[in-house]
Amino acid sequence: MRSLLFVPGDSEKKLEKGFGSGADCVIVDLEDSVALANKATARAIAAGFLAARNQVAGPRIYIRVNDLASGLIDDDLGAAMAARPDGIMLPKANSSADAMHLSAKLRVHEVENGIPDGSTAILAIMTETAAGLLAASTWGATNRTPRLAGLTWGAEDLSAVIGAHATRDAEGRYTDVFRHARTMTILAASACDVAAIDTVFVNFRDEAGLRHECADAERDGFTGKMAIHPVQVPIINEAFTPSAQAVEHAQSVIEAFENAGNPGVVAIDGKMYDRPHLTRATRLLARAGVLR
């Protein structure tokens, strides 16, 4: 999934627009974009909208529920799981144990809704609390739920809890705590062998800024980015689709290894390529859909 567009769950108009945006995934939000007084209405609107779209081809559907400590998550899941979403987004995860906890809840909802056991994915936001960021090392291949499809990060909630006035400096660069959060997300996702999804870019009128941030994210190992406005979707899709040139280069690396009898190292145009380069080329082709 390259682009994941947030749509407030209490807005039928935005839900309609979100599903026509070209996003790979629509994240129907029941959390921060919905006021506390409107939670029940949002559940009803989102569930009604998704039920009416049932079986219609389109983007993947994830539903962002409220966090495990909110007292709202069980009602959220009750409404959400009837819509048979592809996945649930878990905000404010404090450690990988929270994903296990959600997984146990999902199991019950799957039975109740006749959904195959284990088929609902989890995408967790792992840096929205200080505890969550400090527990980044709990995300790993051996202690993760098989439902985990990806990890992502958020700066706004973390800034609020630590008391930071801003997340970026005067030049627009994330300050240290948020760069740390971003870095830990890349590492944790890799340790779990799941997708690393970059956080939102809130200045939705700044297309050049978004392009730049997407390029940095793609360079550093993220495979997709969340969006908050439909205009961001095509920019994100383009940035996270490997270019024809990149695909061609990756193919030439793989061929060079094959033609040389799969050694540890080869030379292409006067440059050394060893096994990590081969891994990188294989990953890129998988992402481009050339390899399965």
Q: Which residues bind ligand COA (CB under 6 A)?
A: 5-8, 13-14, 17-18, 29, 32-33, 200, 228-230
103 with 122: CB under 8 angstroms? yes
List 197's β-bridge partners, or say none.
Answer: 152, 224
How many residues sit close enough to Mg ion to count as binding (CB under 5 A)?
A: 2
Q: Which is nearer to ligand COA, 110 or 206 (CB)?
A: 206
70 binds Mg ion (CB under 5 A): no
- C-alpha span between 215 and 208 (Å, rounded): 11
Asked if 29 is part of the footprint of Mg ion (rule: CB under 5 A), the reply reads: no
Report residue 146 as tokens: 């098989």
Residues 20, 195, 221: CA angle, nearest 5 degrees: 105
Residue 140 φ/ψ, nearest 5 degrees: -160, 165
What secondary structure does DSSP assign to 80-100, as a single string?
A: HHTT--SEEEE-S--SHHHHH
- The CA-based angle 91-97-103, given to 5 degrees, is 75
Q: Residue 157 binds what, of ligand COA, Mg ion, none (CB under 5 to 8 Å, by partner type)?
A: Mg ion
Least separation, in Å, of the C-beta of 71 and ligand COA?
20
Return the one option of Mg ion, ligand COA, none that residue 250 interacts with (CB less than 5 to 8 A, by type). none
**Nearest approach, Cβ of 273 to Mg ion (angstroms)?**
42
CB of 156 to Mg ion, least distance (A): 6
Binding site partner of 67, from Mg ion, ligand COA, none, Cβ cut-off 5-8 A by kind: none
Residue 267, beta-bridge partner list: 272
Tell me which of 157, 198, 213, 218 binds Mg ion, using CB under 5 A: 157
Complex with Mg ion: residue 95 or 237, whichever CB lies closer: 95
**Nearest residue (CB) to ligand COA, 32 versus 74:** 32
Does position 32 interact with Mg ion (CB under 5 A)? The reply is yes
Amino acid at 259: N
Cβ(268)–Cβ(253) under 8 Å?
yes
**Minimum CB distance to ligand COA smaller for 127 or for 138:** 127
Q: Which of 62, 68, 64 is nearest to 42 (CA)?
A: 64
- The item of Mg ion, ligand COA, none sharing an interface with residue 65, based on CB under 5 to 8 Å by kind, is none
Q: Are 127 and 168 in contact (CB under 8 A)?
A: no
d(C-alpha 29, C-alpha 42), whole Å: 9
- Minimum CB separation of residue 165 from Mg ion in Å reads 17
Candidate ranges 136-144, 153-161, 221-229, 273-281; the one touching Mg ion (CB under 5 A)? 153-161
Residue indicated by tokens 């989890």? 122
Least spacing, CB of residue 171 vs ligand COA, in Å? 23
Interface ranges with Mg ion (CB under 5 A)? 32, 157
